[in-house]
Chain A
């Protein structure tokens, strides 16, 4: 069987630390086939592609390409074999020409110098073959995003690629540009190139793909010719896992509305987002990556500018220009990217926990050392950070404990509204449970909590109410009682509820 495929990967497993990213996954691609790989965030799609590209090395498994067993140990080897990837982010050098970008590092040379004439001729030859109407001498900065994507594709082709992997290629494209891109993809297929198309947008899967492979929790859970599967079936395959009960959710009466957001808008990012959170309530925000959830919360916390909309805190209108003002009014936000926005890694636990609190506990310019140490020690105990000293550098802690440091920092500000953006990303199950336990305690004390999570079980397990976002808009609200994985996912993927 295997030798009928252009590429077949069998029994691929890969783990990172304690996390099994891929478990015994099979994957195959025919010649001139457009195959789509779908799955939730963290299902293992990118890891599988990274194995194919030689970026990650599998623990076990075999890759057969054109009938030969191959070992792809580095990205260069994958390229030489004819496997190229077009990443979600554009990776072109904006101030160089199209042709220079395509042949970067492989410029045709004569006598030790770049042969510019040949460089442009080669590019024009490729453009003709692909029926692309662009001047190879155009500076990349002056292209639109779709055209940049085309340049990326041409670059991939220029390696004589047999397989081109595309990761969410349409995320920055307009509808017209998407049509254009799909045209190119079909052209490629007709020229004998295979495409692996990775996307969250199921409509695209049904429009462009011939076959779909579904991953869930690092395992392959299904595969089908596209004509023989329905959208509903696809979603249920993607999410159909059992809820493990790691959620220490407790129920108690929920209080008054604390925060009300009305028509929050940031141009071209999100629009008309309205929601409210009550005291003691955990509001879950679900959605796919890039749905705009983080962006809404960042704007609410005045990290980014809000173009329009109102924020009411305890019924009173508030407006913030800086995070400092938001903190003063009783907001706290555990940001998504711990390394970038949460921790000052090179400083101590104590300095990190105190960071948002110096003005609160010290009236003048000086710091009361004793108070600081005492407050921090209490906090370390309260959120049970495993450390041998409050003087320990933050980056010497495990991911879970680092996250607890960030949580502790915000707890100390005694916020009325706590925003947690992906609070459990990259931490182990034990630490996750701890974070949930803290959340429950806070809710019990009357805090209003907003949690963004891309892991559905978390959203379902912890939230009292769930709102779902898609492509910068609010697309639904579900009560805890009525929430199921399917109902949330259907909304997130843009189906009718």
Chain B
């Protein structure tokens, strides 16, 4: 009896359910967006300087590296995996890029070599993970050590510095002095990532593998290829981030990029990417990146010391995961 009544109610409230479903499905993104807006409002009241074009452009430039890395990380986490080697790959890819310039190669060649380094490390991650069925956590942790070791070996621990002005221009220059190239690059990377996830077969397969790997396999999907490509993509992102970083600090050093993977993971998780895979959007990660960036920038402006910033960031990550588990519980 009860069932029949339920059905009738559902029939009448189709529209309401659609609406509430949309809110439920995007609940995490809404929360992050709300917090983001709240922070912007509060900060611009307390510190009007926050909304200065200068500062806005500055925030954008600061978040660009994490944005690029978080795109790759989102792909990885969507398959239910994790990539801890991101920071180390950034350092070593940067060294290859910087070293190539020092050896007299042209800037484009150096950039391509640097990015290629990231791709290769990422591909190794992917191939070993699917080939030997290693847990991604373990493999990328091992890669974190190995990649950084390579960086130290190549440089003997010394930084490579002073690059051509044209290379520095990548991070310092821009259109009209405001739209810096890093902003353009991160926007481009985010759009491409979003297109890959939403409009290609590979994107759909990533969601399917993360949501239910067995069902994906039985449906005829080459799960090994899908998974290894995801780590390769993360490597590619690390390579791009490496070029941005070397250009910004005008130095390539083996100890660069420490704990960059944690900021990227934080952005993806805060943005609503489910740690168990299958759920998440590029738009969410973009919000997550800005939230992490604004926490850093805002607390800086307010003169709050760096230790408090760490605590604040950790707290936000914890909160995001609590929301994640709570909404998932409701769905069951």
Contact = CB atoms under 8 A, between A and B. Distances in A.
A388 interface: yes
Contacts of A366: 199-201
B202 interface: yes
Contacts of B106: none
A343 B218 CA distance: 10
B220 A343 contact: no
Given A340-B214, A356-B220, A347 B207 contact: yes
A142 interface: no
B216 A367 contact: no
Nearest to B277: A346
B3 interface: yes
A347 B278 CA distance: 7
A342 B220 contact: no
Contacts of A392: 21
Contacts of A359: 201, 220
A340 B218 CA distance: 10
B201 A346 contact: no
Nearest to B195: A366
Interface string A337-357: 000111111110001001110
Interface stretch (A191-199, A319-327, A431-439): A319-327
A409 B220 CA distance: 12
Interface string B11-49: 000100110010001000000000000000000000000
Contacts of B319: none
A395 interface: yes
Interface string B92-119: 0000000000000000000000000000
A346 B222 CA distance: 20
A343 B18 CA distance: 21
A388 B199 contact: no
B201 A322 contact: no
A190 B207 CA distance: 59
Contacts of A333: 218
B173 interface: no
A346 B211 contact: yes
B199 A367 contact: yes
Specify which of B3, B14, B208, B218 lies most central, judged by the most chain A CB atoms within 10 Å of its CB: B218
Nearest to B203: A367
B161 interface: no
A464 B332 CA distance: 40
Contact of A355 (B202, B215, B278, B279): B215
Contact of A344 (B216, B222, B274): B216
A180 interface: no
Specify which of B25, B214, B220 lies most central, judged by the most chain A CB atoms within 10 Å of its CB: B220
A389 interface: yes
A347 B215 CA distance: 12
Given A356-B220, A388-B18, A365 B202 contact: yes
B201 A365 contact: yes
Nearest to B274: A346
A201 interface: no
B1 to A, nearest CB: 10
Nearest to A337: B214
A323 B218 contact: yes
Contact of B220 (A322, A340, A395): A322
A18 B220 CA distance: 35
B211 A347 contact: yes
Contacts of A358: 201, 204-205
Interface residues of B, number: 29
B331 interface: yes
A362 interface: yes
A383 interface: no
B212 interface: yes
Contacts of A303: 217-218
Contact of A388 (B17, B201, B278): B17
A341 B214 CA distance: 5
Contacts of B170: none
Nearest to B201: A358
B201 A367 contact: yes
B216 A355 contact: yes
A345 B331 CA distance: 11
A388 B14 CA distance: 7
Contacts of A356: 219-220
A174 interface: no
Interface in A229-243: none
A323 B204 contact: no
B218 A341 contact: yes
A233 B274 CA distance: 56
Contact of A335 (B3, B211, B218, B274): B218
B120 interface: no
Interface string A308-335: 0000000000000011101110000101
Contacts of B200: 365-367
Given A323-B220, A355-B208, A355-B221, A344 B201 contact: no
Interface string B208-239: 10011011111111100000000000000000
A344 B25 contact: no
B132 to A, nearest CB: 19
B208 A323 contact: no
A388 B331 CA distance: 18
Given A354-B204, A359-B201, A396-B21, A344 B211 contact: yes
Contacts of A323: 217-220
B116 to A, nearest CB: 21
A265 to B, nearest CB: 22
Contacts of A322: 220, 222
Interface in B277-332: 278-279, 331
A369 interface: yes
Given A345-B212, A347-B207, A355-B221, 7 more contacts: A323-B217, A333-B218, A342-B215, A346-B274, A358-B201, A358-B204, A388-B17
19 contacts: A303-B218, A324-B220, A327-B219, A333-B218, A340-B212, A340-B215, A341-B215, A342-B215, A344-B212, A346-B278, A347-B208, A351-B207, A354-B204, A355-B219, A356-B220, A365-B202, A367-B199, A367-B200, A393-B331
Interface of A: 18, 301, 303, 322-324, 326-328, 333, 335, 340-347, 351, 354-356, 358-359, 362, 365-367, 369, 388-389, 392-393, 395-396, 409
**Closest 9 A/B residue pairs (Cβ):** A344-B211, A324-B220, A356-B219, A327-B220, A344-B212, A358-B201, A355-B219, A346-B278, A346-B211
